[in-house]
Structure 1
């Protein structure tokens, strides 16, 4: 029986200890209209902890809100904290958590928790001057507001529904942001037309404050994107065998798709310009048709546009394409017909080793060379420009192929030259004439 009473007494002591460790007297007082609050925490016992700034944590219900805080001890048992939400909007439900702090009783720590919401006067802080034709038109307020006032007093010249904004938090959860309201037109707005929003009535925030608010704002429905110019232009002739296709729009674009018959390429969008970079050279004498589709930053879809351009005629001339994409290769053409493809290695990344890009003509040539700087040589060299050459796999001083360099064919490996298999280098040396055009691209 005595053991039974002892266990009960021990349990009571433990429970009391746990309850007391979390029992505090907390007073929350808002100091001004900006939402600055003073939180006074009386721990009801003398505390040993002093530097506690890193033990005080504020978490807003709205993802991304930063709380500015400052704390000081009023006496051995009372902590005073000043806090305010940074920027606008403000007035979101905020959680205060103070980590367990050491008291003067050995083994006893005390923590504190509190929830509060600053009382912020509601007013409109922003409306985009341009909105998508299907919405949303976004209204940003100083603080979360209730829907009833907006529904009752907001007037427009089109029918609409209202929805609160949604924010995605760090944990992947969506948060309904009642400081941001989406106006969704029931029917699409007329592109380019101006509209008005008028409000004359009462708004209520989430602390229950109701305030008379008036505003009148204008916005314009986004226009459908139009192509201003292209390069090459529609119908242009004698276009070089390699170069980007550039499309300029009258508005900033979110996405653009460029399709060119018989070609593949990558499209990069920057503001009002889309640049299509082909993966390979265009074929001489051929006419290509490009089709452009896209969507503006406001989600407006353009009407597809087509245009064509014709590539320069090379007749029966021999010319060279050096393609330095992922699998590097050289293609030899006679006119529009590819007659030989070679696996090669271009320059390593970096200013000192990169192979120059652009248009060149074949210069002089020789049967072999030795580079004292790199302690290697090669056979069947043909000059592109300066010290940049087409040549065979590198050799050592005894003239032996450097096997580890041979195994790198197809990927960047050189100091800027174009390396080939011996048989390809010899063919190139014997068949590609001086003055032949060379185009190098990545």
Structure 2
């Protein structure tokens, strides 16, 4: 009876048949820094089966491993750690295989090792493919969300509460002071991923990864970055902070093989959600105006072009001024452009004819002759303080309207 009782109690204390595989899985999880053992799935039984029978994994079994790789990526576990889990599990399983497998003849052991290595090779490769595919899906999803967020931020008319919630995963505090910078390539936008990665790397290193967003819009690169609160609302270029963001972007983008020469425009810093949209509009207008004005600088600041924004804001008035004051110059031999260039150089050098001549690479006599022709044709004397403001404003307006290269706009 005692013997019978001992026989009945024995199964309760005997470990399950595959208990040693559970121990292997737990140890591998510890080796990999606590990666969940559930991500192993049936990988260990596959290895054990291969060692005993030489069986190779079936397609359905490998598809399961691929799904486990996707799960690891979606949980945010690094690829290195999940691969370490699988390799550590294989190493520990081989060490713990029952002695009946480990003590067979040499050829049998070699065959078992080859079968196990084949399973490891196929499983880890399939795991990595599943992981990479999931990461690509996540990146595409994040890129879509980021692009939609950028569009709404730059438009400035979206629901504030919803935007705050959507911006939080990207580390954006919409209550802070931000500025927007735009980078336009000389031709079409090159490899978008490479350009964004390059900018993110250098900007994150300088400014940190919070309150910085890099995306694309309308064929341009967009950078939303924090600014010092003191930079908001600066009224004059003399008070402006150094344009580190624009120079930083231009320097990094010029390292790329395609897209050069880049032009970068930086809007002024403004607080709050609507300040982001305002800074974007300033940067966009600065890019357009820099092209019209044929500005040489590759990095332009919105505050440097404020006078042109004022001029074109009342376009009918500035068109009327240019038409009334400057169109008589078109009757000159050679057209209006040489005379306009002379006026611009003359005013830019403080109304000093000798300095204007140096700037234009012509003789002083040529400059004085042109100034005299301007007085004769327009009735305005560039040397007269009373006339100088009208002429200079008209010249600035002509540059803003790209006249005479383009005809003056007509009243719509």
Q: Which has the higher strand share?
A: 1
Bigger RCO of structures 1 and 2 (CA < 8 A, at least 6 apart): 2
Normalising by the residue count of structure 2, what TM-score does the alignment of the two structures yield? 0.21
Q: Which has the higher helix share?
A: 2
Normalising by the residue count of structure 1, what TM-score does the alignment of the two structures yield? 0.20
